[in-house]
Amino acid sequence: MTLKVILTRRWPTAVERALGERFDVVLRSGDRPMAQGELAGAMGECDVLCPTVSDRIDADIIAGGTRCRLIANYGVGFDHIDLAAARARDIAVTNTPGVLTDATADLALTLILMCARRAGEGEREVRRGDWSGWRPTHMIGSALKDKVLGVVGFGRIGQAVARRARYGFGMRIAYHARHASDAANALDAQFCPNVTDLLAMSDVVSLHVPGGAATANLIDAGAVAAMKRGSFLINTARGGVVDHDALAEGLRSGHLAGAGLDVYPQEPLVPPALLALENVVLLPHLGSATAETREAMGMRALANIAAFAGGAPLPDRVA
């Protein structure tokens, strides 16, 4: 029997076509997010549900999964899916690791450079028509060479950011993770078992931890206060890792020089306190947004669905 697969959003055309050749794929006519009621209904109608980070697959939705046996997430992060509820109903969950590492690391570097060189502020000044020409004291930023990049979470993406910063920009690397990593040796990276020590020594802090309860508000008022004066915070991980009121206060007071954010706790809502600040770069969750990466994510999800259809072990099973 052909599996019925529901995609909650439109995927790259090549992936939709490839899926359609093998499965009974339900595509949506528009590209708005599904309401919670629609998601619950979909769980009862399909064999495989393919959500994204913009869907909340909570216990109530999973309870609707009378037919669904696989949730094949389009993305690496899965903090929007209640894994325990899925396990309890014997619904497998897969993600798409590895294929978005480079794109996300590139975007973290984009934010680091934009913050350090005040590129967002400069661009806005030009567009407003306020630029009065070159002068020695105009819009002075910070050099990156020999500065310390503190990487919080040293998985695939954290390591890829560290490599770019070390080899591309001559930064020194320190990192916080549960355990010291062999990958740090080649980068001469310093392991900080205590995150507060890392925050205190870093000129730039870049977050690469998974979201969810374990990392909620990791960067709270105390952590902002612990950060080095004049440093930058970069977040391409999950919005919930940062307390944005505390961050806004740290930026307003001048304790922090700037922040670069790609993710927010309740997307697409951007905390208003941040919108009002000049020294923040705000991007709309673009970490994996390259044509190559978005297609690779879809093909990875397809590989998981194909394995499921064939009764083979799922390559990227997380529950």
Distance CA 184, CA 179 (A): 11
Check residue 298 for interaction with ligand DGY (CB under 6 A). no
Among the residue ranges 63-71, 73-81, 145-153, 186-194, the one whose residues contact ligand DGY (CB under 6 A): 73-81
Check residue 100 for interaction with ligand DGY (CB under 6 A). yes
Q: What is the DSSP string of 79-118?
A: TTB-HHHHHHTT-EEE---STTHHHHHHHHHHHHHHHHTT
Distance CA 287, CA 100 (A): 8
Which position among 64, 120, 158, 287 is part of the footprint of ligand DGY (CB under 6 A)? 287
Residue type at position 72: A
Shorter beta-carbon distance to ligand DGY: residue 98 or 141: 98
Decide: 187 and 174 in contact? Cβ < 8 Å: no
The SS3 of residue 235 is strand
For the question of residue 238 being annotated catalytic, the response is: yes
Check residue 76 for interaction with ligand DGY (CB under 6 A). yes
Minimum distance, C-beta of residue 290 to ligand DGY, in the bound complex (Å) = 11
Check residue 75 for interaction with ligand DGY (CB under 6 A). yes
Shorter beta-carbon distance to ligand DGY: residue 9 or 118: 9
Shorter beta-carbon distance to ligand DGY: residue 36 or 52: 52
Given strand 280-282, what is the order of strands in its sheet?
190-191, 172-176, 148-152, 204-207, 231-235, 256-261, 280-282
What H or E segment, with its residue span, contains residue 50? strand 48-50
Catalytic option among 238, 244, 294, 300 = 238
**Whole-Å CA distances, 278 to 37, 73, 117, 124:** 39, 35, 13, 9
24, burial (CB in 10 Å: exposed 0-12, middle 13-18, buried 19+): middle
Which position among 34, 53, 114, 174 is part of the footprint of ligand DGY (CB under 6 A)? 53
Minimum distance, C-beta of residue 318 to ligand DGY, in the bound complex (Å) = 12
Size of the residue set binding ligand DGY (CB under 6 A): 7
Shorter beta-carbon distance to ligand DGY: residue 19 or 76: 76
Among the residue ranges 74-82, 187-195, 250-258, 298-306, the one whose residues contact ligand DGY (CB under 6 A): 74-82
Check residue 234 for interaction with ligand DGY (CB under 6 A). no
What is the CA angle 74-78-81, rounded to 5? 100
Minimum distance, C-beta of residue 164 to ligand DGY, in the bound complex (Å) = 18
Minimum distance, C-beta of residue 319 to ligand DGY, in the bound complex (Å) = 15
Q: Is 216 left (phi over 0), alpha (psi -120 to 50) or beta?
A: beta
Distance CA 17, CA 243 (A): 41
Which position among 77, 158, 239, 298 is part of the footprint of ligand DGY (CB under 6 A)? 77
Shorter beta-carbon distance to ligand DGY: residue 101 or 231: 101
Check residue 215 for interaction with ligand DGY (CB under 6 A). no
Distance CA 275, CA 16 (A): 36
Residue type at position 246: A
Check residue 288 for interaction with ligand DGY (CB under 6 A). yes
Minimum distance, C-beta of residue 208 to ligand DGY, in the bound complex (Å) = 12
Minimum distance, C-beta of residue 313 to ligand DGY, in the bound complex (Å) = 22
Catalytic residue annotation:
238, 267, 285
Contacts to ligand DGY by CB under 6 A = 53, 75-77, 100, 287-288
